[in-house]
């Protein structure tokens, strides 16, 4: 999904929401943030 966003030229902020059952809302948001940071550092194929 983020490859599509970056390929479209979007360089701004990414909004994160979490409504899952496994984590609290703040915990889910932090987990998503951590995943986005990991994806950002991974070289694209």
pLDDT at 43: 64
With a cut of 70, say whether residue 41 has pLDDT above it. Answer: yes
Distance CA 36, CA 39 (A): 5
Give me the domain span that covers residue 30: 2-41
Q: What's the number of domains the chain is made of?
A: 1
Round the average pLDDT of the chain to a whole number and report it: 86
- The pTM is what? 0.69
pLDDT tens for residues 5-19?
878 888 888 899 999
With a cut of 70, say whether residue 1 has pLDDT above it. Answer: yes
- 15-34 b/e (C-beta count within 10 Å ≥ 16 → b): eeeeeeeeeeeeebeeebee
Distance CA 14, CA 33 (A): 9
Give the pLDDT mean for 20-44: 88
């Amino acid at each position: 999904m983020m490859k599509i966003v970056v390929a479209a030229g979007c360089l701004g902020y990414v909004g994160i929401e979490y409504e899952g059952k496994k984590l609290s809302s703040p915990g889910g948001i932090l987990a998503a943030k951590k995943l986005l940071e990991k994806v950002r550092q991974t070289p694209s194929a």
